[in-house]
Amino acid sequence: MIKGNFKLVHQFSLLAVVALLVVIGLAALDFHYKSTIDYLTKEQKRLLLIGHKLTSIENKLLLARLDESQMVNSRKLEYFDNFKQKILAINNTADKIIAESNTKEIVKSLTIMLKTLKRYHSYVNKTLKLQKIMGFDGNSGILIELDIIEQNIKKELYSIDNKSLNILFLEIQLLEKDFSNTLNMKLAKQLLSL
């Protein structure tokens, strides 16, 4: 009987060891599962934050493009100042994302975007300089000088009262306006041939 009790205790001990190993295994799996979930949750939050920052960059870039367009059309310097502020904000946000990100694809894409943005900013600066030369403020520049020359030509043409010259001058003015609006090089050639 002692041998039977000993066998029973031995079997219970083995069963207890197996149960303990199963519990330890389940606890290890649970710990691994929770740590994986925690990592994925943190990574998801980080990527969502990057996504929000990228959306912010996109919105600021669209607004910068609008400022650039309004600067060209309205010839007001305040739009260029707004443009510069938005480009600076975009650069700062992109630099923060690059510094915080450990994803090579994001860093590479943002680096390319920053180079492209730098070129875009440079082209807008050149456009502003050309507009200033052309007569950005409407008080000085090549366009003002051309208007003065045009007025002098009109006075001279009307004073000599030659209808064919007046008609030719009007044709030139119409072609010049059409060319300015369309930038059609055929019109430029036609203008030069007159």
Task: Report pLDDT digits (tens) over 116-135.
Answer: 999 999 999 998 888 888 87
Confidence of residue 153 (pLDDT cuts 50, 70, 90): confident
pLDDT for 4 beyond 60: no
pLDDT for 94 beyond 80: yes
Work out the average pLDDT over 58-73.
92
- Residue 111 has a pLDDT of 94
Separation CA 19–CA 158 (nearest Å): 112
- Residue 63 has a pLDDT of 95
pLDDT for 150 beyond 80: yes
Helices (H) then strands (E): counts for the chain: 6, 0
- Residue 6 has a pLDDT of 62
pLDDT for 5 beyond 70: no
What's the CA dihedral at 46, 47, 53, 55 to 10 degrees? Answer: -160
- Residue 3 has a pLDDT of 61
101 phi, psi to nearest 5 deg = -85, 145
Give the residue among 143, 182, 173, 181 at the shortest CA–CA distance from 191. Answer: 173
Work out the average pLDDT over 129-158.
81
Amino acid 63 reads L
Separation CA 20–CA 16 (nearest Å): 6
Confidence of residue 11 (pLDDT cuts 50, 70, 90): confident
